[in-house]
Amino acid sequence: MEENNTKLEQIERFVTGVMEASEKVAFDQQIAGDEVLREEVMDYQNLLSGFSQIRENAFQTQIDTWNKDWVATDETEWIEAYVAGDLHPELLSRMEVRLEKNADLAAKVADHRRLMDGFSGIQEKTFAGKLQSWDKEQPKPATIRSLRPIFIRIAAAASVLLLIGIGFNWYAQENYSGSALVADFYQEPSTGTTLGGNTGEKSQIAQLFANAHREFTEGQYNAAIRNFDNLLVAITDSELEDSARNYYEQNALWTRSLALISQGEDLPRAKASLQAIAADPDNEYQKKATDLLKEMQSIFYRWAN
């Protein structure tokens, strides 16, 4: 019985594809020469495949259930993407044709625009000034007296505006603060290998590169910027192949720009650096830099920073 279990364990490893390569070669040979074993393996393959399919069907059913929660808001998400200009040109054109024919949809888009405009209005400086003045009034001792209806209405309106302001502020901080934007745009590269070989010079560059990225991910932006600068100097003096040079240089300039934004002390320099990347059609990060600059012009970014 013990031997049976060992064999079954081996068959299961084989069928589920987790067998070591050397063991698999030997087992393949064993199967080829043993018809009874071959049949047994096929039987268990059928059984385990049946189990996987049942599990997959159950997952598919779950997905369908989860999807139902979303359907009601899908249209709003789509409208938001349309209003923000985040659709493919073909889809944008189709949407515009649809809007001409579908008054209900057009009304929803118009409503969404109005809401967005409302948010824009909220961030105007006058509103910020009002928030501050209300804030200053807070510590004054409250006088107990009855308010006339007009003051009650003003107070209610002020409360609503304050809540909207808090909501707007939360949304902006959550999604458009320097660190939130950078987290969206940063992608940690693989720093385990050296491009184009492993000579002393190349491994020194790879080390600088890895250190700068590690410091960046640990939030040590000043150190990361310093190391990216060192890296750029090292690249200039190096004899790297063009492809490797471009890779390190473009990544270093891009990530250094992100570090400058995260650091928040020299935004003009960060923007100038991004503009240079966005203007270079051969730069791998051209599109990302363009998108990031666009985000940095949004009202939410300006509010949050």
Partner 1 sequence: MGNYRDDEQLLRTLSEGDEIKWKAFYDDMRGSFRLFFMKYAGVEPEVATEIYHESMVIFHRNVVGKKLQPPLQSKLKTYLFGIGKLVYRKQGGQTRNWDDDIPDVPVEPEIEERAHREQQAVLVQKLLNKIGNPCRQLLELVYLKGYVMEAVAREMNIPSEGAARKRKFDCLQKMRAMMRDED
Residue 15 C-beta: closest distance to partner 1, Å: 11
Residue 51 C-beta: closest distance to partner 1, Å: 4
Q: Specify the residue, 46 or 199, whose C-beta has the smaller distance to partner 1.
A: 46
Residue 204 C-beta: closest distance to partner 1, Å: 20
Residue 254 C-beta: closest distance to partner 1, Å: 12
Q: Specify the residue, 249 or 284, whose C-beta has the smaller distance to partner 1.
A: 284
- Specify the DSSP class assigned to residue 124: S
Q: Which of 135, 132, 169 is nearest to 299 (CA)?
A: 169
> 157-188 burial, b for 16+ CB within 10 Å, e for fewer?
eeeeeeeebeebbeebeeebbbbbbbeebbee
Residue 143 C-beta: closest distance to partner 1, Å: 49
Q: Specify the residue, 29 or 57, whose C-beta has the smaller distance to partner 1.
A: 57
Q: Specify the residue, 51 or 151, whose C-beta has the smaller distance to partner 1.
A: 51
**Contact residues for partner 1, defined by CB under 8 A:** 4-5, 8-9, 16-18, 40, 43-44, 46-60, 62-63, 66-67, 70, 74, 77-78, 81, 86-91, 94, 187-188, 190-192, 284, 287
Q: Specify the residue, 122 or 289, whose C-beta has the smaller distance to partner 1.
A: 289
- The span from the CA of 184 to the CA of 292, in Å, is 10
Residue 277 C-beta: closest distance to partner 1, Å: 15
Q: Which two tokens stand for residue 167?
A: 């909501």
The 3-state secondary structure of 152-205 reads HHHHHHHHHHHHHHHHHHHHHHHHHCHHHHHHHHCCCCCCCCCCCCCCHHHHHH
- The span from the CA of 207 to the CA of 210, in Å, is 5
Decide if 239 contacts 215 (C-beta within 8 A).
Answer: no
Helix (H) or strand (E) holding 300: helix 299-304
Q: Specify the residue, 227 or 251, whose C-beta has the smaller distance to partner 1.
A: 251
